[in-house]
Amino acid sequence: MKSDRNKIVRLLKTARGQIDGVLKMIEEDRYCIDISNQVMATEAILRKVNRQILHDHIGSCVNEAFNKDDQQKKIEEIMIIMDKLTK
């Protein structure tokens, strides 16, 4: 992985902390809208992490493949992940 690992790990640990917080809120029978807001905040962090990983992948791995005439495989990978992202 060519991403800034420290940044990615920090964001994922934040998301994990938020998930733990959501579980605690559910156990404490907290207000549904408050729980939903925390779930959306966690989703936003995960989307940010995924976006960063994909940007870095395109900037390094895909770029490298184009320089080595191995672009077709990387294009197919990107198309598959885009299909998953748009479901």
**Where do the domains of the chain lie?**
5-85
pTM of the model: 0.83
CB 38 within 8 A of CB 18: yes
CATH code for 5-85? 1.20.58.1000
Instruction: Using the predicted structure, report yes or no on whether residue 12 has a pLDDT greater than 90.
Output: yes
CA R_g for the chain: 17
pLDDT tens-digit series, residues 43-87: 999 999 999 999 998 888 888 888 887 788 888 988 999 999 888
pLDDT tens-digit series, residues 26-38: 999 999 999 999 9
**Residues 6 or more apart whose Cβ sits within 8 Å of residue 44:** none
